[in-house]
Amino acid sequence: MTETIVTCPNCGRRNRIASRNDGVPRCSVCQHHLPWVVDATPADFDAELEATVPVLIDFWAPWCGPCRFVEPVLQKVADKHAGEMKVVRLNIDDSTEISQRFSIQSIPALVVTRDGKEVDRVIGAVPQAQLDALVDRVLGAPVTGDAA
């Protein structure tokens, strides 16, 4: 299981967040929702997608300039929507089979899943406003079953 250290935006306390598929992380001191950003490996990627909230997957690579541009934008989105969503970052250089499974042909690629199914995606280094609109659209969408 992957563990991440996150600083609470409310009280400044550093918190260790373990990978989990139920609930959302909260600060151990003030109980404020924490931004949920994890770096996944190919071994734990599918487990990281199992969450009770929508998951925003960031397909990136360390050599990609636009990916570095998107990283702080994603952190702001995670901070703003703490408790409402999870951000999973996946280095495509380490996981070509997962990139192929999601039909990723260029990066950065941001894919949103809900209950394990893709609901939206955006390709390229998008500005904050466009990413906010994507997340607002997904979070505002009603959760539906397998109804067609």
Which token pair is 130?
């466009």
DSSP 101: H
* Antiparallel, parallel or unpaired: β 117-123 and 109-114: antiparallel
Q: Is the Cβ–Cβ distance between 62 and 91 less than 8 Å?
A: yes
Catalytic residue among 8, 11, 30, 64: 64
**In 3-state terms, what secondary structure has residue 107?**
coil
Cβ burial of 122 (10 Å; 0-12, 13-18, 19+) is: middle
Question: CA-based diameter of the chain, in Å?
Answer: 45
How big is the CA angle at 18 (ends 67 and 33), to the nearest 5 degrees? 80
Residue 67 among the catalytic residues = yes
**In 3-state terms, what secondary structure has residue 24?**
coil
Query: Catalytic residue positions?
Result: 64, 67
